[in-house]
Amino acid sequence: MARRWSKGWLVGALVVAAMLGGAASADDDFDPETHPEVRAMLEALEQQGLDGAALETTLREANFRPQVLEAMNHAAERRLRWDEYREIFIQPERIRQGVAFLNEHRQTLERAEREYGVPPEVIVAILGVETQYGRHKGTHRVLDSLATLAFHHPSRGAFFLGELKAYLAITLGQGVDPASRYGSYAGAMGYPQFIPTSYQAYAVDFDHDGLKDLWDNPVDAIGSIANYFHEHGWRRGEAVLVEASGPDALPQSIAFNRTEPPSTTVESLRKAGIEPTAGRLTPADQVMPIALDFADGHSRYVMGLNNFYVITRYNHSHLYAMAVATLAQRIQTARDGGA
């Protein structure tokens, strides 16, 4: 099947190509002795108490990975429809695996719900979407990805420099070899795919063994996801979304699929022809209007509630939040003996 390249992709590809061409003429490494920016980062981390010799050894082991820059450039190349996105994550095998994971870790998940208010099926669905319950944690060496992005990304270098610093602080602080861990091309790590600054901010030692381990410990991962949602405003006992009905053509007066705090009233949606089909919403209640598109051109309407918005703090995509909510519901239904 022929692939169509958008103008935006072509421009981005040329930027990456030019950047890689420039990098090829320099040392494609991160040796602090030859790279002043790397040296400055090392010195800053030393001032935070990290071992300078260990940092220097680690950074000499980091490798420049042009494929990481290419992956970043292609990440948003094509927007998927809901039916395409759903097909990736809402599959019988992933649902069966989710039920098995929930049953295996039932006591831990119930404790997480008691402490943080997040239902087991939602935590499990996050793990199902992110890493298929720990089966696929990433194939990129995190050290290489973050070093490449920190010192070579044309627009987000400062952001990834912060992530690299956090990663080095986490690993060296825990006595873990920074060159030994693998994750996504963007540096997301472990069962829940936390980026390093989220790891620092939200990871918890949920089994009380003295270590916050999201790479190999599903118990810590469960507690950390629950803590992440709790800190972002998850409301215990509340629904995630309400199904709705509406016209075939999207009302132009409504802004759909914005991952912002709920601010559109149910009454204003009703005036546009969109009605909740379940739930107990009042006209003054505020929701996120979601329109899910399909290949036949039709849309499915959903009213996202506060907890839907909280899921988008994990990944700023309405499709992601919908996939998590759908997978959670399917796992719970299957566990209860439904179809």
**Catalytic residue numbers, as ranges:** 130
Rounded distance between C-alpha atoms, residue 312 and residue 175, angstroms:
33
Q: Among all chains, which residue has been given the structure tokens 């030019």?
A: 18
DSSP 179: G
Backbone angles phi, psi at 19, to 5 degrees: -65, -45
Q: Is 298 helix (H, G, I), strand (E, B) or coil?
A: coil
Bridge partners (DSSP) listed for residue 304: 241, 288
Cβ partners under 8 Å of residue 154, min gap 6: 15, 19
Structure token digits, residue 92? 């019988």
Other beta carbons less than 10 A from residue 8's beta carbon: 11
Element containing residue 222 per DSSP (H, E): helix 218-231
Structure token digits, residue 143? 């050290």
- Under a CB-based contact definition with an 8 Å cutoff, are residues 46 and 55 in contact? yes
DSSP, residue by residue, 242-296? EEEE--SSPPTTS--S--S---EEHHHHHHTT-EESSS---TT-EEEEEEEE-TT
Bridge partners (DSSP) listed for residue 293: 299
